[in-house]
Amino acid sequence: MKPIRIGVIGVSGRGGIARHWQEDPQGRAVVVAGADINEAHLADFRQRLNPNAFVTTDYRRLLEQDIDAVAVTSPDFTHETYAVAALEAGKHVFCEKPLAITTAGCDRILEAWRRSGKHLMVGFNMRYMNMFRTMKEIVDSGVIGELKAVWVRHFVGMGGDFYYHDWHATRANATSLLLQKGSHDIDVIHWITGQYTKRVAAFGSLDFFGGDRPNDLTCPTCPDKNTCPEALFATRTQCCFRQEVDVEDNNMVIMELEGGIKASYLQCHFTPDYHRNYTFIGTEGRVENSEPEGKVWVKTRWTNHWKELADRTYEVKKAVGGHGGADPVICADFLDMVLEGKEPLATPLAGRMSVATGCAAAESMRHGGQPVDIPPAPAWTRGS
Protein backbone atom coordinates (compact mmCIF):
# COMPACT_ATOMS: atom_id res chain seq x y z
CA MET A 1 0.00 0.00 0.00
CA LYS A 2 1.34 3.39 -0.99
CA PRO A 3 1.36 5.76 2.02
CA ILE A 4 -0.75 8.91 1.93
CA ARG A 5 1.42 11.95 1.32
CA ILE A 6 0.37 14.76 3.69
CA GLY A 7 1.15 18.46 3.65
CA VAL A 8 0.60 20.68 6.68
CA ILE A 9 -0.44 24.34 6.53
CA GLY A 10 0.47 25.95 9.85
CA VAL A 11 3.26 23.71 11.16
CA SER A 12 3.66 25.05 14.71
CA GLY A 13 1.19 24.91 17.58
CA ARG A 14 -1.64 22.61 16.59
CA GLY A 15 0.45 21.57 13.60
CA GLY A 16 2.31 19.31 16.01
CA ILE A 17 -0.49 16.79 15.51
CA ALA A 18 1.24 15.80 12.25
CA ARG A 19 3.68 13.60 14.12
CA HIS A 20 0.93 11.02 14.56
CA TRP A 21 0.68 10.64 10.79
CA GLN A 22 4.43 10.46 10.38
CA GLU A 23 4.59 7.84 13.16
CA ASP A 24 1.54 5.82 12.05
CA PRO A 25 2.21 2.25 13.28
CA GLN A 26 1.13 0.77 9.95
CA GLY A 27 3.17 3.19 7.86
CA ARG A 28 0.06 4.45 6.08
CA ALA A 29 1.18 8.08 5.87
CA VAL A 30 4.20 10.27 5.40
CA VAL A 31 4.36 14.02 6.04
CA VAL A 32 6.16 15.43 3.01
CA ALA A 33 5.46 19.16 3.01
CA GLY A 34 4.81 22.12 5.27
CA ALA A 35 3.75 25.73 4.79
CA ASP A 36 4.04 28.49 7.37
CA ILE A 37 4.69 32.22 7.33
CA ASN A 38 7.41 31.72 9.97
CA GLU A 39 10.64 30.27 8.56
CA ALA A 40 11.89 29.27 12.02
CA HIS A 41 8.77 27.14 12.46
CA LEU A 42 9.45 25.51 9.09
CA ALA A 43 13.02 24.67 10.10
CA ASP A 44 11.76 23.11 13.33
CA PHE A 45 9.11 21.19 11.37
CA ARG A 46 11.75 19.59 9.16
CA GLN A 47 13.91 18.74 12.15
CA ARG A 48 11.03 17.14 14.04
CA LEU A 49 9.27 15.27 11.27
CA ASN A 50 11.08 14.90 7.99
CA PRO A 51 14.40 16.51 7.04
CA ASN A 52 13.54 16.00 3.38
CA ALA A 53 10.13 17.67 3.58
CA PHE A 54 9.33 20.44 1.12
CA VAL A 55 8.76 23.69 3.01
CA THR A 56 7.45 27.06 1.88
CA THR A 57 6.05 30.31 3.19
CA ASP A 58 3.41 30.28 0.44
CA TYR A 59 0.61 27.74 0.93
CA ARG A 60 -0.14 27.83 -2.81
CA ARG A 61 3.25 26.30 -3.55
CA LEU A 62 2.49 23.49 -1.10
CA LEU A 63 -0.73 22.71 -2.98
CA GLU A 64 1.29 22.33 -6.18
CA GLN A 65 3.31 19.47 -4.68
CA ASP A 66 2.72 15.74 -5.06
CA ILE A 67 0.52 15.35 -2.00
CA ASP A 68 -2.74 13.53 -1.36
CA ALA A 69 -4.03 15.34 1.72
CA VAL A 70 -3.66 18.63 3.56
CA ALA A 71 -3.92 19.33 7.28
CA VAL A 72 -5.08 22.89 7.95
CA THR A 73 -3.77 23.68 11.44
CA SER A 74 -3.19 27.41 11.01
CA PRO A 75 -5.00 30.19 12.92
CA ASP A 76 -8.80 30.11 12.77
CA PHE A 77 -9.24 33.09 10.47
CA THR A 78 -7.26 31.31 7.73
CA HIS A 79 -9.20 28.03 7.74
CA GLU A 80 -11.73 29.07 5.12
CA THR A 81 -9.14 30.22 2.61
CA TYR A 82 -6.81 27.24 3.03
CA ALA A 83 -9.49 24.53 3.22
CA VAL A 84 -11.27 25.79 0.11
CA ALA A 85 -7.99 26.09 -1.80
CA ALA A 86 -6.91 22.57 -0.79
CA LEU A 87 -10.24 21.03 -1.78
CA GLU A 88 -10.23 22.88 -5.09
CA ALA A 89 -6.72 21.54 -5.67
CA GLY A 90 -8.08 18.01 -5.33
CA LYS A 91 -6.70 17.23 -1.86
CA HIS A 92 -8.36 15.47 1.06
CA VAL A 93 -8.55 17.89 4.02
CA PHE A 94 -8.20 17.65 7.78
CA CYS A 95 -9.31 21.04 9.13
CA GLU A 96 -8.74 21.94 12.74
CA LYS A 97 -11.76 23.34 14.55
CA PRO A 98 -13.46 25.72 14.24
CA LEU A 99 -14.18 24.95 10.60
CA ALA A 100 -14.28 28.72 9.91
CA ILE A 101 -15.03 31.88 11.90
CA THR A 102 -18.34 32.63 10.14
CA THR A 103 -21.30 30.49 9.15
CA ALA A 104 -20.97 31.71 5.56
CA GLY A 105 -17.32 30.65 5.61
CA CYS A 106 -18.32 27.16 6.72
CA ASP A 107 -20.90 26.94 3.95
CA ARG A 108 -18.26 27.97 1.41
CA ILE A 109 -16.02 25.13 2.63
CA LEU A 110 -18.91 22.67 2.47
CA GLU A 111 -19.67 23.68 -1.11
CA ALA A 112 -16.01 23.25 -2.08
CA TRP A 113 -16.08 19.83 -0.41
CA ARG A 114 -19.22 18.84 -2.34
CA ARG A 115 -17.70 19.85 -5.66
CA SER A 116 -14.33 18.22 -4.98
CA GLY A 117 -15.45 14.66 -4.33
CA LYS A 118 -12.69 14.48 -1.69
CA HIS A 119 -12.85 13.71 2.01
CA LEU A 120 -13.12 16.41 4.70
CA MET A 121 -12.72 15.91 8.44
CA VAL A 122 -13.05 18.47 11.27
CA GLY A 123 -10.60 18.27 14.18
CA PHE A 124 -13.11 17.70 16.98
CA ASN A 125 -10.75 15.72 19.18
CA MET A 126 -13.08 15.77 22.21
CA ARG A 127 -15.19 13.14 20.43
CA TYR A 128 -12.15 10.87 20.76
CA MET A 129 -11.48 11.45 24.47
CA ASN A 130 -12.21 8.59 26.88
CA MET A 131 -14.17 10.89 29.19
CA PHE A 132 -16.72 12.01 26.63
CA ARG A 133 -16.94 8.68 24.85
CA THR A 134 -17.86 7.19 28.20
CA MET A 135 -20.57 9.80 28.71
CA LYS A 136 -21.99 9.19 25.23
CA GLU A 137 -22.08 5.44 25.86
CA ILE A 138 -24.02 6.02 29.08
CA VAL A 139 -26.54 8.38 27.48
CA ASP A 140 -26.98 6.07 24.49
CA SER A 141 -27.60 3.10 26.82
CA GLY A 142 -30.85 4.71 27.99
CA VAL A 143 -30.04 4.41 31.69
CA ILE A 144 -30.98 8.07 32.32
CA GLY A 145 -34.10 7.85 30.17
CA GLU A 146 -35.08 10.40 27.55
CA LEU A 147 -32.60 13.28 27.46
CA LYS A 148 -34.11 16.65 28.34
CA ALA A 149 -31.39 19.02 29.63
CA VAL A 150 -27.65 19.65 29.32
CA TRP A 151 -25.55 21.90 31.54
CA VAL A 152 -21.93 22.66 30.64
CA ARG A 153 -19.52 24.75 32.68
CA HIS A 154 -16.14 25.52 31.12
CA PHE A 155 -13.49 26.84 33.50
CA VAL A 156 -10.71 28.26 31.31
CA GLY A 157 -8.07 28.89 33.97
CA MET A 158 -5.34 29.51 31.40
CA GLY A 159 -7.55 31.77 29.32
CA GLY A 160 -5.22 34.72 29.54
CA ASP A 161 -2.15 32.91 28.26
CA PHE A 162 -4.01 30.82 25.71
CA TYR A 163 -6.33 33.44 24.24
CA TYR A 164 -5.66 37.02 25.33
CA HIS A 165 -1.91 37.35 24.74
CA ASP A 166 -2.19 36.76 21.00
CA TRP A 167 -4.42 36.90 17.91
CA HIS A 168 -7.41 35.16 19.55
CA ALA A 169 -8.35 38.30 21.47
CA THR A 170 -9.94 40.25 18.61
CA ARG A 171 -13.26 39.68 16.87
CA ALA A 172 -11.63 40.22 13.48
CA ASN A 173 -9.47 37.13 14.02
CA ALA A 174 -11.75 34.87 16.07
CA THR A 175 -15.34 36.24 15.96
CA SER A 176 -15.80 34.92 19.52
CA LEU A 177 -14.24 32.42 21.88
CA LEU A 178 -17.56 30.62 21.59
CA LEU A 179 -15.94 29.38 18.35
CA GLN A 180 -12.27 28.86 19.15
CA LYS A 181 -12.93 27.38 22.59
CA GLY A 182 -16.66 26.78 22.65
CA SER A 183 -16.96 24.96 19.32
CA HIS A 184 -15.60 21.87 21.09
CA ASP A 185 -18.28 22.02 23.77
CA ILE A 186 -21.12 22.94 21.45
CA ASP A 187 -20.14 20.00 19.27
CA VAL A 188 -20.07 17.57 22.21
CA ILE A 189 -23.54 18.76 23.21
CA HIS A 190 -24.73 18.10 19.64
CA TRP A 191 -22.92 14.75 19.48
CA ILE A 192 -24.09 13.26 22.75
CA THR A 193 -27.68 14.49 22.42
CA GLY A 194 -27.82 13.59 18.73
CA GLN A 195 -29.52 16.94 18.03
CA TYR A 196 -28.41 20.28 16.61
CA THR A 197 -29.19 23.70 18.09
CA LYS A 198 -32.15 25.59 16.63
CA ARG A 199 -32.11 28.83 18.66
CA VAL A 200 -29.89 30.61 21.17
CA ALA A 201 -29.90 33.52 23.57
CA ALA A 202 -26.68 34.68 25.20
CA PHE A 203 -25.09 37.23 27.49
CA GLY A 204 -21.41 38.01 27.68
CA SER A 205 -18.90 40.74 28.33
CA LEU A 206 -15.24 41.58 28.65
CA ASP A 207 -14.94 41.59 32.43
CA PHE A 208 -11.24 41.05 33.09
CA PHE A 209 -8.99 41.33 30.04
CA GLY A 210 -8.61 44.25 27.65
CA GLY A 211 -8.07 47.84 28.75
CA ASP A 212 -6.06 50.92 27.85
CA ARG A 213 -2.56 49.51 27.30
CA PRO A 214 -0.90 50.12 23.89
CA ASN A 215 -1.52 47.47 21.25
CA ASP A 216 2.22 47.04 20.65
CA LEU A 217 3.05 46.48 24.34
CA THR A 218 4.64 43.13 25.13
CA CYS A 219 5.22 41.44 28.48
CA PRO A 220 9.04 41.53 28.28
CA THR A 221 9.00 45.31 27.66
CA CYS A 222 6.22 46.17 30.13
CA PRO A 223 7.17 48.23 33.22
CA ASP A 224 4.83 46.02 35.27
CA LYS A 225 6.27 42.70 34.09
CA ASN A 226 7.54 41.78 37.58
CA THR A 227 4.22 42.37 39.31
CA CYS A 228 1.51 41.64 36.74
CA PRO A 229 0.30 38.06 37.25
CA GLU A 230 -0.57 37.79 33.57
CA ALA A 231 3.02 38.65 32.62
CA LEU A 232 4.58 36.36 35.20
CA PHE A 233 3.09 33.20 33.72
CA ALA A 234 2.57 34.13 30.08
CA THR A 235 4.24 32.11 27.33
CA ARG A 236 2.78 34.40 24.65
CA THR A 237 3.87 38.00 24.92
CA GLN A 238 1.26 40.50 23.67
CA CYS A 239 -0.24 42.46 26.55
CA CYS A 240 -3.64 40.98 27.39
CA PHE A 241 -4.83 44.37 28.66
CA ARG A 242 -4.22 46.14 25.33
CA GLN A 243 -6.79 48.39 23.69
CA GLU A 244 -7.64 46.19 20.70
CA VAL A 245 -8.92 43.29 22.84
CA ASP A 246 -12.67 43.03 22.19
CA VAL A 247 -13.58 39.34 22.60
CA GLU A 248 -15.74 38.54 25.62
CA ASP A 249 -14.06 36.61 28.44
CA ASN A 250 -17.28 35.74 30.31
CA ASN A 251 -20.06 34.06 28.28
CA MET A 252 -23.38 32.41 29.10
CA VAL A 253 -25.46 30.75 26.38
CA ILE A 254 -28.92 29.17 26.48
CA MET A 255 -29.60 26.75 23.61
CA GLU A 256 -32.81 25.21 22.32
CA LEU A 257 -32.01 21.99 20.47
CA GLU A 258 -34.04 19.87 18.11
CA GLY A 259 -36.33 17.50 19.97
CA GLY A 260 -37.03 20.07 22.67
CA ILE A 261 -33.77 19.57 24.58
CA LYS A 262 -32.57 22.62 26.54
CA ALA A 263 -28.86 23.26 27.04
CA SER A 264 -26.70 25.86 28.72
CA TYR A 265 -23.04 26.63 28.10
CA LEU A 266 -21.00 28.80 30.48
CA GLN A 267 -17.44 29.84 29.66
CA CYS A 268 -15.11 32.00 31.80
CA HIS A 269 -11.47 32.80 31.03
CA PHE A 270 -10.28 34.09 34.40
CA THR A 271 -11.06 31.18 36.71
CA PRO A 272 -8.30 29.71 38.92
CA ASP A 273 -8.75 26.19 37.51
CA TYR A 274 -9.01 24.58 34.09
CA HIS A 275 -11.59 21.91 33.31
CA ARG A 276 -15.01 21.15 31.83
CA ASN A 277 -18.01 19.98 33.82
CA TYR A 278 -20.85 18.34 31.87
CA THR A 279 -24.25 17.25 33.17
CA PHE A 280 -26.85 15.42 31.07
CA ILE A 281 -30.31 15.06 32.63
CA GLY A 282 -32.92 12.60 31.45
CA THR A 283 -36.34 11.49 32.60
CA GLU A 284 -34.83 8.67 34.69
CA GLY A 285 -31.54 10.09 35.96
CA ARG A 286 -28.49 12.16 35.18
CA VAL A 287 -24.83 11.72 34.28
CA GLU A 288 -22.06 14.13 35.32
CA ASN A 289 -18.29 14.20 34.91
CA SER A 290 -15.25 15.50 36.75
CA GLU A 291 -12.21 15.97 34.54
CA PRO A 292 -9.81 16.61 37.47
CA GLU A 293 -10.87 13.36 39.15
CA GLY A 294 -11.25 11.32 35.98
CA LYS A 295 -14.72 10.23 37.03
CA VAL A 296 -18.22 10.02 35.61
CA TRP A 297 -21.22 9.60 37.91
CA VAL A 298 -24.64 8.21 37.07
CA LYS A 299 -27.51 8.94 39.45
CA THR A 300 -30.93 7.40 38.89
CA ARG A 301 -34.34 8.49 40.15
CA TRP A 302 -37.30 6.46 41.41
CA THR A 303 -38.85 4.78 38.38
CA ASN A 304 -40.06 1.43 39.75
CA HIS A 305 -37.52 -0.24 37.50
CA TRP A 306 -34.29 -2.18 38.05
CA LYS A 307 -32.23 0.77 36.80
CA GLU A 308 -33.01 2.66 40.01
CA LEU A 309 -31.34 0.11 42.29
CA ALA A 310 -27.84 1.67 42.23
CA ASP A 311 -26.02 4.85 41.39
CA ARG A 312 -22.75 4.25 39.55
CA THR A 313 -19.25 5.70 39.42
CA TYR A 314 -17.06 5.26 36.34
CA GLU A 315 -13.28 5.54 36.65
CA VAL A 316 -12.20 6.81 33.25
CA LYS A 317 -9.01 5.14 32.08
CA LYS A 318 -6.09 7.34 31.10
CA ALA A 319 -4.96 7.33 27.49
CA VAL A 320 -1.58 8.02 25.93
CA GLY A 321 -1.17 10.89 23.48
CA GLY A 322 -2.03 14.57 23.18
CA HIS A 323 -5.41 15.89 24.29
CA GLY A 324 -6.14 12.98 26.60
CA GLY A 325 -5.13 10.39 24.03
CA ALA A 326 -7.42 11.83 21.36
CA ASP A 327 -4.80 13.08 18.90
CA PRO A 328 -3.38 9.73 17.73
CA VAL A 329 -6.90 8.30 17.41
CA ILE A 330 -8.29 11.18 15.34
CA CYS A 331 -5.22 11.02 13.07
CA ALA A 332 -5.76 7.30 12.55
CA ASP A 333 -9.43 7.97 11.82
CA PHE A 334 -8.44 10.46 9.13
CA LEU A 335 -6.32 7.80 7.43
CA ASP A 336 -9.18 5.29 7.70
CA MET A 337 -11.47 7.83 6.04
CA VAL A 338 -9.12 8.56 3.16
CA LEU A 339 -7.97 4.97 2.56
CA GLU A 340 -11.12 3.00 3.36
CA GLY A 341 -13.94 5.52 3.00
CA LYS A 342 -14.82 5.27 6.69
CA GLU A 343 -17.36 7.89 7.81
CA PRO A 344 -15.59 10.37 10.11
CA LEU A 345 -16.80 10.57 13.69
CA ALA A 346 -17.14 14.34 13.25
CA THR A 347 -18.77 15.19 9.92
CA PRO A 348 -18.29 18.46 8.04
CA LEU A 349 -21.93 19.27 8.85
CA ALA A 350 -21.15 18.93 12.57
CA GLY A 351 -18.31 21.41 12.11
CA ARG A 352 -20.64 23.84 10.40
CA MET A 353 -23.36 23.56 13.04
CA SER A 354 -21.05 24.22 15.99
CA VAL A 355 -19.77 27.38 14.29
CA ALA A 356 -23.29 28.48 13.32
CA THR A 357 -24.38 28.08 16.95
CA GLY A 358 -21.36 29.98 18.29
CA CYS A 359 -21.82 32.80 15.77
CA ALA A 360 -25.53 33.11 16.61
CA ALA A 361 -24.69 33.22 20.32
CA ALA A 362 -22.11 35.96 19.71
CA GLU A 363 -24.72 37.93 17.78
CA SER A 364 -27.22 37.50 20.59
CA MET A 365 -24.92 38.65 23.38
CA ARG A 366 -23.84 41.67 21.33
CA HIS A 367 -27.47 42.68 20.86
CA GLY A 368 -28.75 42.58 24.41
CA GLY A 369 -29.38 38.85 24.63
CA GLN A 370 -32.10 38.73 22.01
CA PRO A 371 -32.91 35.20 20.75
CA VAL A 372 -31.27 34.29 17.43
CA ASP A 373 -32.25 31.41 15.15
CA ILE A 374 -29.51 29.21 13.71
CA PRO A 375 -29.30 29.58 9.92
CA PRO A 376 -30.23 26.25 8.32
CA ALA A 377 -27.48 24.27 6.64
CA PRO A 378 -27.56 23.87 2.85
CA ALA A 379 -30.34 21.49 1.87
CA TRP A 380 -27.99 18.94 0.30
CA THR A 381 -26.21 18.38 3.66
CA ARG A 382 -29.28 17.00 5.42
CA GLY A 383 -28.30 13.42 4.74
CA SER A 384 -24.67 13.92 5.77
Predicted confidence (pLDDT) per residue in 165-197, tens digit:
999 999 999 999 999 899 999 999 999 999 999
For residue 305, give the 3-state DSSP assignment.
Answer: coil
Predicted confidence (pLDDT) per residue in 145-159, tens digit:
999 999 999 999 876
Mean pLDDT of 282-294: 96
Distances (CA, A) of 202 to 233, 274, 306: 31, 22, 40
Distance of CA 137 to the CA centre of its chain: 21
- What phi, psi does 261 have (nearest 5°)? -70, 135
Establish how many alpha carbons lie within 13 A of residue 209's alpha carbon, considering only the half-sphere containing its beta carbon.
Answer: 29
Alpha helices in the chain (DSSP H): 19-22, 39-48, 59-63, 79-88, 103-116, 130-141, 159, 171-174, 177-180, 182-193, 229-232, 322-340, 348-365
- Among the ranges given (28-32, 93-97, 245-249, 377-381), the one the predictor scored with the smallest mean pLDDT: 377-381
Q: pTM of the predicted model, to two decimals?
A: 0.95
- Residue 309's pLDDT is 79
Sorting pLDDT into bands at 50, 70 and 90, what band is 135? very high
- Residue 159's pLDDT is 62
Predicted confidence (pLDDT) per residue in 48-90, tens digit:
999 999 999 999 999 999 999 999 999 999 999 999 999 999 9
- Residue 320's pLDDT is 84
Average pLDDT, rounded, for the chain:
94
176-214 residues labelled b (16+ CB within 10 A) or e (exposed): bbbbbbbbbbbbbbbbbbebbbbebbbebebebbbeebe
Q: Spell out the domains of the chain, with CATH numbers in brackets.
A: 4-123+327-345 (3.40.50.720), 127-322+352-373 (3.30.360.10)
